[in-house]
Every structure is written in structure tokens, then in C-alpha cells.
Amino acid sequence: MDEREGMEKMIGKVSKKDTVPPDFVMLSDPDHAVIDRYGLFNEDSSSKRPFPHPATYVIDMEGVVRYRFVEVDYKVRPTNEDILEVLKGL
């Protein structure tokens, strides 16, 4: 499965669950260029292969980061309500 097929599969799952396709762009970063740029690569991973820390960013049309949530514990995530509040303020 190539990168595009993987994204389409993910979007299909989201659409099926929510009944509406997302109206925003999802980032796929197989070469981890963005992960490296934002310093998200987990070098201390106990697994055989390092992986990125989960992160949520809201970046405005001028490229300014308006919201950043990075957490080492993958189980801790921002709520949809938190993110929507930031988006409403843009």
C-alpha cells in the first residue's frame, strides 16, 4: 500500500465513524521531515525503532503555530473541544 492509499483508507475510517468526511488536510510524513522540523522524534524509545511523540498543531494560513500539544504518553490527547476552540479563534 502506498502513502496515498494509506491516507485514503484512514479518511474512509474517519468518514464511516463520523458519517462526514473531514474538511481539513491530513499530513502524511513517511520521511519524517516534519517530525524532525518540530523535534517530535522519540530517540529514547524502548522499541527497536524510534517513533514520533503524538502531537497536534494548529497552523494558521500565514504559517504561524497557533496551538501546540505534544505529549510523551500517547494515551493523553487534546479533546476535540480544545482544538475547536483554537480554530474558532482564528
What pLDDT was estimated at residue 46? 65
What pLDDT was estimated at residue 7? 63
pLDDT at 27 over 80: no
Is the pTM here over 0.85, yes or no?
no
Average pLDDT over residues 54-81: 87
Q: Is 75 left (phi over 0), alpha (psi -120 to 50) or beta?
A: alpha
For 59-70, the pLDDT digits (tens) are 888 989 899 998
